[in-house]
Chain A
Amino acid sequence: MTEFLQQLLNGLSLGAIYALIALGYTMVYGVLRFINFAHSDVFMVGAFIGYFAGEHLPHDSIPGGLVALAAAMAGCAVLGIVIERLVYRPLRGGPTLNVLITAIGMSLFLEYTGQLVFGATPRAFPSLIPAKVIAVHGLVISINQLLVIAVASVLMVALELAVYRTKIGTAMRAVALNPKAAQLVGINIDVVISFTFGLGSALAGAGGILYALNYPSIDPLMGVVPGLKAFVAAVLGGVGNIPGAALGALILGMTETFIDGSRFSTYKDAIAFAVLIGILLFRPAGLLGRYSTEKV
């Protein structure tokens, strides 16, 4: 029983990280109808920002960790906005294939430039928060995991508030539903899109820090696999649907943790792909999404 609860906790913490990344994918897709392949590399940049911030911050202290978190979120927000402005915006309105290819190019650029600059060998992420564990009835709970779940929850609640209670959040939802109509009522699409990218990237940056705290080995290609899984989570929940992304991430995190503990563990990366293909074949709208058909 404790084994099961332990796995549950692990799955929850992993799912929380996937959720932070998945939310960025889903928001950008909702507003622009394209998959930002470079999103997973923003996640990686967040981890690296934390790494370098950690050189100037006290280790093993929660405030230090939170400062690193804030730095990563801010840095990634800026990165996301810059990428959108430089590379995606000029292609807006053109064939979606072109933006897709550009996004792939951007992703590869970040990864391989990262390898050039930081080297391909993994680095050890500093222990920014106290590496304590609490033992409760045989359950081993690390402070890291608690922090992950806590921070992720806080951020998701903040996101919910931002999207449903603020003016710009409503504008974002309007643009997602109907960009032309949104423009007609005076919404500045450029600002909304920048905001969406900034928000999503900030969450990815947070995800990067939290991931690195739990799996303290970082390298420029670290974003590829978690990013893909987070995307699958977003699709599972219904791409464009914010609670769906969180739900999908949770399910995926749990599934992966349980598979990892089973004898199929070598296949755990392929599982995400299998899930993706399965959803797209049988329920493309995802669990909470709506599939819209083309008007003839």
Chain B
Amino acid sequence: MKRIPTPLIALVATVLAAFGVSFFSDRIDPYYLDVMIGVGINVILAVSLNLVNGYTGQFSLGHAGFMSVGAYLSAAVTLLAGPRLLGEDGGTALQQGLLFLAALVMGGAGAALAGLAVGIPSLRLKGDYLALVTLGFGEIIRVIFQNVESLGGALGLNGIPNYTNVFWVYAFAALTVFTVVCLVRSTYGRGFLATQDDEIAAEAVGIDTTRYKIVAFVVGAFFAGVAGGLYGHFKLTITPTGFDFTKSIEIVVMVILGGMGNTPGVILAAILLTVLPEMLRAVEQYRMVLYSLLLIVLMLVRPKGLFNFNFTAIAARLRWRYLAARK
């Protein structure tokens, strides 16, 4: 019997668990469900951005733009194709599920194409310039959506069917983490880190840095698009301004807080930065001020991120202590 790889087992287990939770979702307080969904969506956004910013070193400030492409495209599919495919009564749960899956994947694919469009011109740029160009692309996407009347223009789209639930969000969150971690941990994936570390040296050992950067952008954008689709079918209304520079910054803060290139840290940060604003609803108006202060303080005091612990070193130390105590 062939050995099934552990990551795949973990993925399937998480998806099944998500399915299980969503089955009992009517027993859970809707407010907590909403928070859980918000957390899941942010995990997808942060982990996918981490591939681009944290592992490949391409400082992208336009991730919300990819999210918006996915949101609009998937909403277009469910709003336009939905009634035609599902019929008057709205179809069975299975049919709705399949439609939603197709919509999400198409949204992701559209976002991936946008990622390609952004990634290719950005190849030659570094640091500040890359950040600015990605910001620019994000804004251009926003302006385009603001001017496309068939997608609602500046007022956006509403009446999006409420397809998002805990299962879909966590299934895709698990898939995102699975994809990023499996990719990066392979020999192939070391190429991303090498590209970030020293492009000239990477090229000198045969790494096609251009291709790695494009792959990072495309994969990152795909999952951002999926997150956008999940978001759209959760909030039921989307507007172009909801996916602006501020949103991109929120995701960037998660990546920096968690530690660039540190997936567990980024997941923790995404959870923290989704739950904390909920708990601090009372001080909502201070949120962006606090975020900006957080960015500044982090850079001054702990640029590696709050959760950037060397897990292997900690594990090694714990094991050593355990062995020493056993004597």
- Within the complex, the shortest CB–CB distance from B136 to chain A, in Å, comes to 4
Q: Known contacts A87-B300, A267-B143; is A109 also within 8 Å of B289 by CB?
A: yes
Is residue B72 contacting chain A, with contact meaning CB distance below 8 A? no
Q: Which of B24-32, B40-48, B290-298 contacts A (4 or more CB under 8 A)?
A: B290-298
User: What 1/0 mask marks residues of chain A from 265 to 296 whose CB sits below 8 Å from any chain B CB?
Assistant: 01101100110110011001000000000101
> Which of B125, B146, B249 contacts A280, CB < 8 Å?
B125
Which residues, 294 to 312 on B, are CB-close (under 8 Å) to A?
Answer: 294-296, 299-300, 303
Taking beta carbons and an 8 Å cutoff, which residues of A are in contact with B?
34-35, 87, 90-91, 94-102, 104-109, 111-113, 116, 231, 266-267, 269-270, 273-274, 276-277, 280-281, 284, 294, 296
Q: Which of B126-134, B177-185, B314-322 contacts A (4 or more CB under 8 A)?
A: B126-134
Tell me the bound Cα distance from A98 to B125 in angstroms. Answer: 17
A106 touching B292 by the CB < 8 A rule? yes
- Within the complex, the shortest CB–CB distance from A236 to chain B, in Å, comes to 13
Q: Which residues of A contact B136 (CB under 8 A)?
A: 273-274, 276-277
User: What 1/0 mask marks residues of chain B from 121 to 154 whose CB sits below 8 Å from any chain A CB?
Assistant: 1001101110111001101100110110000000
Taking beta carbons and an 8 Å cutoff, which residues of B are in contact with A?
59, 61, 121, 124-125, 127-129, 131-133, 136-137, 139-140, 143-144, 146-147, 200, 249, 252, 256, 285-286, 288-289, 291-296, 299-300, 303
Chain A binding surface SS class = helix
18 A-B residue pairs with CB within 8 Å: A91-B299, A91-B300, A94-B303, A98-B303, A99-B299, A100-B131, A101-B295, A101-B299, A104-B249, A105-B294, A107-B292, A108-B288, A108-B292, A270-B139, A270-B140, A277-B133, A280-B125, A280-B129
> Which of A98, A112, A267 contacts B299, CB < 8 Å?
A98
A-B contact count (CB 8 A): 93
- Within the complex, the shortest CB–CB distance from A116 to chain B, in Å, comes to 6
Q: Which residues of A contact B286 (CB under 8 A)?
A: 116
- Within the complex, the shortest CB–CB distance from A289 to chain B, in Å, comes to 13
5 nearest A-B pairs in the assembled complex, by CB-CB distance: A105-B295, A108-B292, A273-B136, A109-B292, A112-B288
Q: Which residues of A contact B129 (CB under 8 A)?
A: 280, 284
Q: Which residues of A contact B132 (CB under 8 A)?
A: 35, 231, 276
A113 touching B289 by the CB < 8 A rule? yes
Q: Known contacts A97-B127, A277-B136, A280-B125; is A296 also within 8 Å of B200 by CB?
A: yes
Tell me the bound Cα distance from A104 to B294 in angstroms. Answer: 11
Report the nearest B residue to A273, measured CB to CB. Answer: B136
> Which of B146, B147, B256, B295 contacts A108, CB < 8 Å?
B295
B128 touching A90 by the CB < 8 A rule? no
- Within the complex, the shortest CB–CB distance from A34 to chain B, in Å, comes to 6
> Which of A35, A102, A266 contacts B128, CB < 8 Å?
A35
Among A99, A270, A296, residue most surrounded by chain B Cβ atoms (within 10 Å): A270
Q: Which residues of B contact A99 (CB under 8 A)?
A: 299
Q: Known contacts A101-B299, A296-B200; is A112 also within 8 Å of B140 by CB?
A: no
